[in-house]
C-alpha cells in the first residue's frame, strides 16, 4: 500500500477487513464510524494488519490464561475448604469429570498445592503473553508514527508551491507533531481491545460460578456504560477545541518569533505577548476541561464498584446461600474476579476516553493527507538536455491565489540563448513573479512560457530546475556548515568544487576568515 490515497481510504488490491460485515461493524464502532478520518484510521491499521493481528492474537491468549488462572484458583479454594462445588465442576464437561476423578484419589493438601502451582504457572504464562503483546503494540505504534511523519512531510514536498505557501510555518510544524497523537490512538485502541478480551475472560469465569450473580453485575456495568456515554461525546468535542487552540498558539508564536526583529523595531512586544497569551489561555481552558471530564470516569467507576460489591454480597447470600448453586469458595472467587474485573473496565474506559481526546489530532492528520482537495505539481515528460535557442513569455498573466489583482498581465518577451537580460522596475512590478514562473513555482493563469518552442509545462521538472542557477535576494541559510549550505545546490559536489564555486562568487576569502572556515556552522 505505497500510495497515500490508497492508505487514506483503507483499500488495497486485496479485500480489506471492511469487506466483512461483522468485522466492518466492529471496526466502525472502534474507529469512529464512517467519517473520512475513521476510514483513514482503518486504512492505517490495515496497512499494518500483520503486526496488528499479532497484537490481537497475543492479547487473546493472555486474556485466555487470565481467565483460566481465576478458574483454577476457584477449584483450589473448593479443594481447600472441602466443598464439592458440583455445579461449577459439572459445567466443565469431560474436563470436570476428569478433575473429580483426580481429586477424589488425591490428598486434599496435595491437590490444593498442585492447583495453586497450576494457577501460578497460568499467571506467569499470561504475564509473558501480555508483555509480548505490549511489545508488539509498541512496535506497531512507533512504526505508524514514523510512517505517518514521512508521509506528511512528503505530502508537504509534493504539493505545488502555490498551495504549500498558504500554510503558516507553525501549522506545518503542528501537523508533524500531531502525528504522534495518531500513533497514540492506535496504541490505545489495541489496549482497549485487550482490556475488552480480558473482561470477556472474567465474565466467562463469573458465568461459570453463578449466572444469576453475573446478571446482577452486568446490570451495574450497563448502568455505568450508559452514564459515561455522554462523557465520551463531550471529550471528542473538547479535543477539537484543544487541537484548534494548540495549533493557533504554535502558528502565531512561530510567526511572531520569526519576525521578532520587527516586533522589537515597532515596539510590539505587548501585542505579541497578548496574542499568544490568548491562544495559550484557550488551550489551557480546553485541556483543563478535558482532564476534568476524564477524571469523572474513574470516580464513577470506583463509586459503582463499591455499590456493586455491596449489592452483590447481599444477592450472594440469597442466590448462593442455598448451597445448591455454589459454595463459600465460589463466592470468594466471584468477589475476587469481580474486583479484578472492575479495574479492567476502568482502564478500558480510560483508553476510550484517550481515543476521544486524541480524535481532533487524528482528523487534522487525515485532512493533511487527503489528496483530492490539494494541488500537486504535474511534471512534463519531455527531457530537457540544455537551452538551444531562447526562453519566451507569450501573453502570460498571473494573479496570486486566484485573486483579482494581477501580478503580471499579458506579458510577452524573449530571452535569446547567450544573452544577459535585466528586469528593471519598482517594487511590485512583477520581477519576482517572472522568476517564480520560470521556476514553475507558479503556472500562468493564461498565456504560455516556451522553452525552445516547447511549453514549459511539457518539460520534465527535474531536468528544467536542474539547469537553473539561482541567487536569491534573501538567501535562506540552513543550520549547517558553510560547506553543506553550498553543497545543497549540487549534492554530489566535491569539496574542491564547493571551494571553486565560492571563489567564483567572491566568497572564498571571507569564508576562510570564519572560525572554522568552510566547516563553520551558520544559519
β partners of residue 481:
521
Q: What is the DSSP letter of 382?
A: B
Closest among 63, 329, 342, 100 to 209, alpha carbons compared: 329
pLDDT number for residue 113: 83
Q: Which domains does the chain have, with CATH numbers?
A: 1-47 (no CATH), 48-368 (1.20.1560.10), 390-466 (3.40.50.300), 480-522 (no CATH)
Phi, psi of 84 (to 5 degrees): -75, -45
Task: Return d(Cα 499, Cα 138) in angstroms, integer.
Answer: 47
pLDDT of residue 404: 74
Tell me the C-alpha distance between 523 and 512, whole Å.
Answer: 17
CB 88 within 8 A of CB 326: yes
pLDDT at residue number 393: 92
Enumerate the β-bridge partners of residue 376: 159
The answer to whether 511 and 517 are in contact (CB under 8 A) is: yes
Distance CA 107, CA 80 (A): 11
Whose cell is 482537495? That residue is: 373
What residues does 252 pair with on adjacent strands?
none
Longest CA–CA separation in the chain, Å: 107
For 226, list phi and psi in degrees, rounded to 5.
-65, -35
Please, what sign has the CA dihedral across residues 77, 79, 84, 87?
positive
Residue 97 to residues 84, 92, 209, 329: CA-CA distances in angstroms?
Answer: 13, 8, 17, 19
pTM across the whole model: 0.68
Residue 307 has a CB neighbour count (10 Å cut-off) of 12
Q: CA 484, 488, 493, 495: dihedral to nearest 10 degrees? A: -20
Under 8 Å between Cβ of 72 and 115: yes
> Which stretches of 252-311 are assigned E, i.e. beta strand?
none
Q: Are 117 and 53 in contact (CB under 8 A)?
A: no
DSSP string, 45-74: HHHTHHHHHHHHHHHHHHHHHHHHHHHHHH
Q: Collapse the DSSP code of 316 into the 3-class scheme (helix H, G, I; strand E, B; otherwise coil) and give the result.
A: helix
CA distance 154 to 9: 18
CA 27 to chain centre: 17
What pLDDT was estimated at residue 394?
A: 92
pLDDT of res. 290:
77
pLDDT of residue 327: 59
SS3 content of the chain, % helix, strand, coil (to 5): 70, 5, 25
pLDDT at 16: 43
CB 58 within 8 A of CB 126: no
Angle value at C-alpha 175, between 173 and 177, nearest 5 degrees: 70
| pLDDT for res 18 | 43
What CA–CA distance (Å, rounded) separates 93 from 90? 6
* Cα distances (Å, whole numbers) of residue 106 to 59, 96, 152, 307, 508: 35, 15, 66, 41, 93
Q: How far is CA 364 from the centre of its chain?
A: 10
Q: Among all chains, which residue has been given the C-alpha cell 572556515?
A: 517
Alpha-carbon separation of residue 221 from 194, 203, 225, 300, 308 (angstroms): 18, 12, 6, 11, 9
| Helix or strand run (H / E) with residue 451 | strand 446-451
| Per-residue pLDDT, 100 | 60
Residue 325: what pLDDT?
A: 47
Task: Give every residue of the chain whose pLDDT is below 70, as ranges.
Answer: 1-34, 78, 80-106, 108, 224-225, 227-230, 232, 236, 266, 297-298, 301-302, 304-306, 308-309, 312-313, 315-331, 402
Amino acid at each position: 500500500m505505497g500510495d497515500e490515497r490508497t492508505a487514506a481510504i483503507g483499500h488495497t488490491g486485496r479485500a480489506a477487513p471492511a469487506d466483512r460485515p461483522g468485522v466492518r461493524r466492529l471496526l466502525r464502532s472502534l474507529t469512529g464510524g464512517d467519517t473520512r478520518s475513521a476510514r483513514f484510521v482503518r486504512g492505517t491499521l490495515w496497512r499494518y494488519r500483520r503486526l496488528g493481528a499479532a497484537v490481537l492474537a497475543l492479547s487473546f491468549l493472555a486474556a485466555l490464561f487470565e481467565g483460566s488462572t481465576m478458574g483454577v484458583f476457584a477449584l483450589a479454594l473448593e479443594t481447600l475448604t472441602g466443598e464439592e462445588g458440583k455445579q461449577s465442576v459439572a459445567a466443565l464437561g469431560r474436563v470436570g469429570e476428569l478433575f473429580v476423578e483426580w481429586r477424589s484419589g488425591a490428598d486434599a493438601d496435595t491437590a490444593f498445592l498442585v492447583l495453586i502451582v497450576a494457577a501460578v504457572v497460568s499467571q506467569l504464562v499470561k504475564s509473558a503473553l501480555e508483555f509480548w503483546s505490549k511489545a508488539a503494540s509498541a512496535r506497531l505504534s512507533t512504526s505508524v508514527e514514523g510512517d505517518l511523519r514521512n508521509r506528511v512531510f512528503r505530502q508537504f514536498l509534493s504539493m505545488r508551491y502555490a498551495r504549500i505557501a498558504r500554510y503558516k510555518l507553525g501549522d506545518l510544524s503542528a501537523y508533524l507533531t500531531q502525528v504522534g497523537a495518531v500513533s497514540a490512538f492506535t496504541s490505545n485502541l489495541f489496549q482497549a481491545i485487550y482490556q475488552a478480551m480480558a473482561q470477556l475472560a472474567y465474565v466467562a469465569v463469573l458465568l461459570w460460578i453463578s449466572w444469576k450473580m453475573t446478571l446482577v453485575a452486568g446490570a451495574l456495568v450497563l448502568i455505568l456504560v450508559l452514564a459515561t456515554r455522554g462523557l465520551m461525546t463531550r471529550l471528542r468535542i473538547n479535543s477539537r477545541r484543544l487541537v484548534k487552540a494548540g495549533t493557533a498558539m504554535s502558528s502565531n508564536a512561530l510567526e511572531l518569533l520569526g519576525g521578532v526583529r520587527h516586533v522589537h523595531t515597532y515596539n510590539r512586544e505587548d501585542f505579541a505577548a497578548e496574542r499568544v497569551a490568548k491562544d495559550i489561555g484557550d488551550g489551557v481552558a480546553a485541556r483543563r476541561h478535558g482532564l476534568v471530564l476524564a477524571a469523572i470516569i474513574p470516580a464513577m467507576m470506583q463509586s459503582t464498584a463499591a455499590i456493586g460489591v455491596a449489592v452483590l454480597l447481599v444477592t450472594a447470600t440469597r442466590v448462593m446461600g442455598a448451597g445448591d448453586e455454589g459454595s463459600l469458595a465460589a463466592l470468594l472467587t466471584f468477589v475476587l474476579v469481580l474486583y479484578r474485573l472492575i479495574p479492567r473496565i476502568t482502564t478500558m474506559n480510560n483508553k476510550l476516553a484517550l481515543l476521544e481526546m486524541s480524535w481532533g489530532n487524528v482528523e487534522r492528520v487525515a485532512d493533511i493527507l487527503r489528496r483530492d482537495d490539494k494541488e500537486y505539481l504535474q511534471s512534463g515528460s519531455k527531457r530537457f538536455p540544455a537551452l538551444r535557442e531562447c526562453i519566451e513569455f507569450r501573453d502570460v498573466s498571473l494573479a496570486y491565489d486566484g485573486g483579482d489583482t494581477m501580478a503580471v498581465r499579458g506579458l510577452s518577451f524573449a530571452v535569446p540563448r547567450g544573452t544577459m537580460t535585466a528586469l528593471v522596475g519598482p517594487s511590485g512590478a512583477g520581477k519576482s513573479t517572472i522568476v517564480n514562473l520560470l521556476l514553475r513555482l507558479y503556472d500562468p493563469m493564461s498565456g504560455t512560457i516556451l522553452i525552445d518552442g516547447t511549453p514549459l509545462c511539457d518539460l520534465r521538472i527535474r531536468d528544467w530546475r536542474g539547469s537553473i542557477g539561482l541567487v536569491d535576494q534573501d538567501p535562506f541559510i540552513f543550520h549547517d556548515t558553510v560547506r553543506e549550505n553550498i553543497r545543497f545546490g549540487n549534492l554530489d559536489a566535491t569539496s574542491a568544487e564547493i571551494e571553486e564555486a565560492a571563489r567564483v562568487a567572491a566568497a572564498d576569502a571571507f569564508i576562510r576568515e570564519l572560525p572554522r572556515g568552510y566547516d563553520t556552522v551558520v544559519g
